[in-house]
């Protein structure tokens, strides 16, 4: 709990010093029937005496010098120095009283150095009033620099509040503007909003080098709601940079928070706040953003880097949304949930952290982790420890030690459509974790195993894509396929069953895209019990070329046949190449073009090309037919048809002369 030591405090709304006092030099009194007087105070004279003698609306100008007194302002006045705070100082005659105490509305105070009110709860400028302007003052060596109690609609601007306990303090004060102030080197907190201080604007202030106490450091809120904290620079605090305790519905945005001793931004028992677009870095003994026992907060578009602990920490917090943040290069993890449930972690980037990109620890349940990028972390991309019933979808985990790592009874989780590639050890690694469902994930090019299950049972693993040197290890009893079910699988086939394995050597005998031989697939014995009984086999367009005979003589007709099939439910753009290889090593190209294969194409033409063979050189000839990717050149399907020509004549012709005399047209749409 934060200090509630202050009495009731105030609020603000202000102008710049020069404009402020120029425009208020002649302020009417009452209904404007009396002109405002200007009263000058010279060194050796009393500011309080001038106030006592003034009428409401008068302007008091204090000339350069040092004044020792405690001043009470109980009427509407403008009180300013002649040449600014560097030239005009007011020092408390009694340290147990405020330097300026303002109890009247519409008072303007500007251009003073105020110091010496260091008694408990005393301030350089104390305000218990509304609609006042406090600007361009230096408030130092007081208990509070500027203190608002039960005050509203005040402007506190362009002041320098340093070497106090609190630089600027608000208690039960609302609708004030605290703008462009410097709050530095204070023993407690730079800017403090105490109980029931709501609807204030805290913007463009600099809060640096404040010692801090009990979490209070740069800017702190206790039991204060609906405040707007924007564009501040908060650094080098001895405690937290920005601290919210029992404070809700606040917006904290566009702040630069760096080099604080504890947390950059810390929320405790605070709900429904918006934390967005902040830059938080280099917390020397804490993390970037921490939520403790918090609900329904939104953390978005923050940049959190190079902090001593985790970038974002949720502790015993639920129903929060963490989205579009960047949490890189932190000394622990990027995003960490401890004992936290029902949170949504989406579209974040958490790279190059010293532990894991995202980790869920100690009974963190029912969280949704989706569309995050977690690469090049020193331990895991995503790490679950003793955390169950979570959903991990569409995350990208590359170049970590492990891609996705489940440990210590992380059970009943759903892992779907994640990519875990090129990790140093395992792509997906459940250990002592059971009853999880893993489907539609990709684990390629991992150093040890694509998937490694140890001491884990009853996990359902189907419709995943494994392309690794060593695809799997499993020493438990797990399920590697579902029953054959209609539906598009991960490699584009028409049936769901097991997984795609890059090293499955069996065959699909019936063309359904599911393996029929060498079953079950057991990763060369590394799946100890059972295995995949319905491994996925790529279903791709195929081409076959054949002749009606295997041997010909001069004058016989050759019937060249061609079959092309596209079993997929999408159009396929392919390169089609058909050529004849001759005994001499030369070739003749019959077709070389890019064609579109219709959905479900089943082209079968045994008379694709028919021609009479002349007397050609004897030898073995080979027809080649090939389908390939028109962009990468990857061969999709190829076939050959070998035939022999037996010569009975001494005079021969070249077969190319015959082939060149005819054209070949192929229409897959018309299947002719």
- Residue in the structure block whose two tokens are 């020509």: 645
Contact 538, 507 (CB under 8 A): no
- Residue in the structure block whose two tokens are 């439910």: 569
pLDDT, tens only, 238-285: 999 999 999 999 999 999 999 999 999 999 999 999 999 999 999 998
Q: DSSP readout, 32-84?
A: TTBPPPEEEE-TTS-HHHHHHHPPTT-EEEEPSEEEE--EEE-S--EEEESS-
What's the CATH code of the domain at 614?
2.60.40.3880
Main-chain phi, psi angles of 463, to 5 degrees? 60, 35
What's the CATH code of the domain at 133?
2.160.20.10
Q: What is the distance of C-alpha 171 from the center of its chain?
A: 36
CA dist 218 and 255 (Å) reads 12
82, two tokens: 């002649």
Q: What does R_g of the chain's alpha carbons equal in angstroms?
A: 39
Residue 381 lies in a domain: no
Residue 247 lies in a domain: no
Residue 628 lies in a domain: yes
Residue 363 lies in a domain: no
Angle at 279 between CA 274 and CA 282, to 5 degrees: 125
Contact 266, 215 (CB under 8 A): yes
Give all strands (DSSP E) within 248-379, no chain letters.
251-253, 256-258, 265-268, 274-276, 279-281, 289-292, 298-300, 303-305, 312-315, 321-323, 326-328, 335-338, 344-346, 358-361, 368-370
Residue 502 lies in a domain: no
* Boundary of a domain, candidates 179, 211, 239: 239
CA dist 626 and 570 (Å) reads 20
Residue 309 lies in a domain: no
What is the 3 state secondary structure string of 546-606?
EECCCEECCCCEEEEEEEEECCCCCCEEEEEEEEEECCCCCEEEEEEEEEEECCCCEEEEE
Peptide bond into 520 cis (omega under 30): yes
Low-confidence spans in the chain with pLDDT less than 50 = 1-20, 22-33, 671-672
Main-chain phi, psi angles of 405, to 5 degrees? -125, 120
pLDDT at residue 27, as a whole number: 34
306, two tokens: 């190079």
* Boundary of a domain, candidates 202, 217, 239: 239
* Boundary of a domain, candidates 183, 215, 239: 239
- Residue in the structure block whose two tokens are 């870095």: 281
Residue 482 lies in a domain: no
pTM: 0.83
pLDDT at residue 615, as a whole number: 87
517, two tokens: 């031989």
Count of domains observed in the chain: 2
Residue 330 lies in a domain: no
What is the 3 state secondary structure string of 131-163?
CCEEECCEEECCCEEEEEEECECEEEECCEEEC
- Residue 40: domain span: 1-239
């Amino acid at each position: 709990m934060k200090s509630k030591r202050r009495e009731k405090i105030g609020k603000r709304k202000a102008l710049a010093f020069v404009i402020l006092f120029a425009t208020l030099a002649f302020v009417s009194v009452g209904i404007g029937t009396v002109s405002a007087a200007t009263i000058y105070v010279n060194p050796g004279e009393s500011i309080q005496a001038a106030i006592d003698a003034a009428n409401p609306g008068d302007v008091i100008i204090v000339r350069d010098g040092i004044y020792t007194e405690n001043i009470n302002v109980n009427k509407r006045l403008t009180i300013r120095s002649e040449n600014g705070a560097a030239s005009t100082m007011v020092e408390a005659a009694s340290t147990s009283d405020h330097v300026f105490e303002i109890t009247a509305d519409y008072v303007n105070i500007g251009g003073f150095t105020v110091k010496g009110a260091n008694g408990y709860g005393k301030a350089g400028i104390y305000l218990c009033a509304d609609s006042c302007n406090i600007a361009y003052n230096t408030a130092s060596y007081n208990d509070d620099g500027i203190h608002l109690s039960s005050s509203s609609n005040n402007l506190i601007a362009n002041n320098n509040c340093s070497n106090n306990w609190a630089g600027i303090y608000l208690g039960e004060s609302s609708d004030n503007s605290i703008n462009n102030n410097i709050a530095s080197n204070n023993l407690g907190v730079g800017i403090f909003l105490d109980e029931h201080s709501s609807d204030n604007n805290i913007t463009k202030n600099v809060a640096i080098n404040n010692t801090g106490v009990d979490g209070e450091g740069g800017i702190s809120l206790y039991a204060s709601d609906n405040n707007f904290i924007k564009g501040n620079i908060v650094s080098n605090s001895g405690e937290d940079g920005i601290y919210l305790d029992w404070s809700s519905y606040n917006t904290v945005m566009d702040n630069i928070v760096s080099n604080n001793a504890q947390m950059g931004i810390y929320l405790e028992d605070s709900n429904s706040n918006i934390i967005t677009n902040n830059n938080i870095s280099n917390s020397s003994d804490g993390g970037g953003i921490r939520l403790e026992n918090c609900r329904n907060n939104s953390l978005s578009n923050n940049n959190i880097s190079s902090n001593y602990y985790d970038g974002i920490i949720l502790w015993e917090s639920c129903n929060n949304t963490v989205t579009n943040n960047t949490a890189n290069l932190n000394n622990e993890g990027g995003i960490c949930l401890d004992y936290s449930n029902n949170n949504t972690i989406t579209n974040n980037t958490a790279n190059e952290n010293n532990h894991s990109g995202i980790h869920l620890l100690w009974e963190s349940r029912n969280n949704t982790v989706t569309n995050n990028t977690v690469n090049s972390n020193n331990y895991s991309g995503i790490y679950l420890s003793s955390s169950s019933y979570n959903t991990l979808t569409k995350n990208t985990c590359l170049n970590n030690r492990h891609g996705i790592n489940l440990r210590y009874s992380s059970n009943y989780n759903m892992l779907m459509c994640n990519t875990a590639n090129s990790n140093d050890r395992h792509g997906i690694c459940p250990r002592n974790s059971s009853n999880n469902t893993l489907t539609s994930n990709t684990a390629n090019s991992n150093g040890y195993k694509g998937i490694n299950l140890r001491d884990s049972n009853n996990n359902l693993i189907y419709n995943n894509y494994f392309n690794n040197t060593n695809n799997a290890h499993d020493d438990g009893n797990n399920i590697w396929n579902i029953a054959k079910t209609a539906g598009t699988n991960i490699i584009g086939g028409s049936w769901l069953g097991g997984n795609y394995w890059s090293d499955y050597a069996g065959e699909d005998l019936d063309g359904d895209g599911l393996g029929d031989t060498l079953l079950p697939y057991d990763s060369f014995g590394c799946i100890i019990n059972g295995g995949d009984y319905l491994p996925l086999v790529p279903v791709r367009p195929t081409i076959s070329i054949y002749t009606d005979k295997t041997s010909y003589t001069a004058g016989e007709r050759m019937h060249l046949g061609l079959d092309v099939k596209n079993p997929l439910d999408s159009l396929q753009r392919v390169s089609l190449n058909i050529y004849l290889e001759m005994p001499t090593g030369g070739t003749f190209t019959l077709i070389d073009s890019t064609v579109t294969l219709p959905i479900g194409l089943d082209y079968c033409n045994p008379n694709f090309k028919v021609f009479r063979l002349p007397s050609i050189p004897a030898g073995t000839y080979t027809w080649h037919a090939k389908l390939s990717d028109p962009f990468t050149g990857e061969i999709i399907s190829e076939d050959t048809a070998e035939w022999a020509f037996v010569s009975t004549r001494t005079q021969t012709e070249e077969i190319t002369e015959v082939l060149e005399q005819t054209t070949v047209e192929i229409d897959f749409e018309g299947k002719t």
